[in-house]
Amino acid sequence: MSACRPDPRALAAQALASVVAGQSLRAAFAALSTKLHEARDRALLSSLLHEGARWWLRFDTALGSLLERPLRERESDIHALLVLGLVQLEIMGLSDYAAVAATVEATRALRKPAFAGLVNAVLRRWLRERETRRVELDRDAVTRTAHPRWLIERFDADWPEQAEAILTVNNAPASLWLRVNRRRVMRADFAAQLAEQGVVCRVPDDAPDALLLDASRDVTTLPGYAQGLFSVQDGAAQQAARLLDLHDGQHVLDACAAPGGKTGHILELADCALTALDSDPARVLRVGDNLARLGFSARVLCADCASPADWSDGAPFERILLDAPCTASGVVKRHPDIKWLRRESDLAQLAATQGRMLDALWQQLAPGGKLLYATCSVFPQENAQTIDSFLARCSGARRLPLAGLEGGQLLPDARHDGFFYALLEKQ
Query: Considering only CA atoms, which of 269, 236, 249 is closest in space to residue 410?
Result: 236
Q: Is residue 54 over pLDDT 90?
A: yes
Look at residue 206 in the predicted model and tell me its pLDDT: 87
The pLDDT of residue 418: 97
Give residue 247's identity as a one-letter amino acid code. Answer: H
Q: b/e map of 148-158 (b: 16 or more CB within 10 Å)?
A: beebbebbbeb
> Residues 52-73, buried b or exposed e (16+ Cβ, 10 A)?
bbbbbbbbbbbbeebeeeebee
Residue 217's pLDDT is 85
Q: Around Cβ 360, how many Cβ atoms within 10 Å?
A: 18
Asked if residue 368 has pLDDT above 60, the reply is yes
Residue 111 pLDDT > 70, yes or no? yes
pLDDT digits (tens, 9 = 90+) for 113-159: 999 999 999 999 999 999 999 999 999 999 999 999 999 999 999 99
Please report the pLDDT score of residue 360 as a whole number: 97
Whether the pLDDT of residue 1 is over 70: the answer is: no
Residue 70: predicted pLDDT: 85
- 272 is annotated as an active-site residue: no
* Marked catalytic residue, from 302, 305, 376, 394: 376
Q: What is the pLDDT of residue 154?
A: 97
For residues 41-69, average pLDDT: 95
Supply the DSSP symbol for 214: S
Cα–Cα nearest to 379, from 333, 344, 337, 424: 344
- 49 band by pLDDT with thresholds 50, 70 and 90: very high
Question: What mean pLDDT comes out for the span 26-51?
Answer: 93
Which residue type does 381 have?
Q
Q: What percent of the chain has pLDDT over 90?
A: 92
How high is the pLDDT of residue 39? 85
Arithmetic mean of pLDDT over the chain: 95
Task: Map residue 294 onto helix, strand or coil.
Answer: helix
Cβ proximity of 275 and 401 under 8 Å: no
3 pLDDT more than 90: no
What pLDDT was estimated at residue 4? 61
pTM value is 0.94
Q: How far is CA 158 from CA 61, 151, 300, in A?
A: 27, 11, 37
Q: How far apart are CA 329 and CA 339, in angstroms?
A: 9
pLDDT in tens, 214-230: 888 889 889 999 999 99
Residue from 316, 257, 255, 247 nearest 284 by CA = 257
Domains by residue range for the chain, with CATH: 8-145 (1.10.940.10), 176-233 (3.30.70.1170), 239-426 (3.40.50.150)
How would residue 187 be classed by pLDDT, with cut points 50, 70 and 90? very high
Question: pLDDT per residue over 281-319, tens digit each?
Answer: 999 999 999 999 999 999 999 999 999 999 999 999 999
**422, 387 in Cβ contact below 8 A?**
yes
Residue range 167-178: mean pLDDT, rounded = 95
Cα–Cα distance between 401 and 422 in angstroms, integer?
8
Q: Averaged over 87-101, what is the pLDDT?
A: 96
Give the dihedral of Cα atoms 42, 45, 48, 53; nearest 10 deg.
-110
Q: What is the DSSP string of 350-380?
A: HHHHHHHHHHHHHTTEEEEEEEEEEES---T
Write the DSSP string, 232-277: E--TTTTHHHHHT---TT-EEEETT-TT-HHHHHHHHH---EEEEE
Q: Cis bond leading into 259, ω under 30°?
A: yes
User: pLDDT per residue over 237-268, tens digit each?
Assistant: 999 999 999 999 999 999 999 999 999 999 99
* Residues 39/221, Cβ–Cβ less than 8 Å: yes
Consecutive H or E run containing 420: strand 419-426
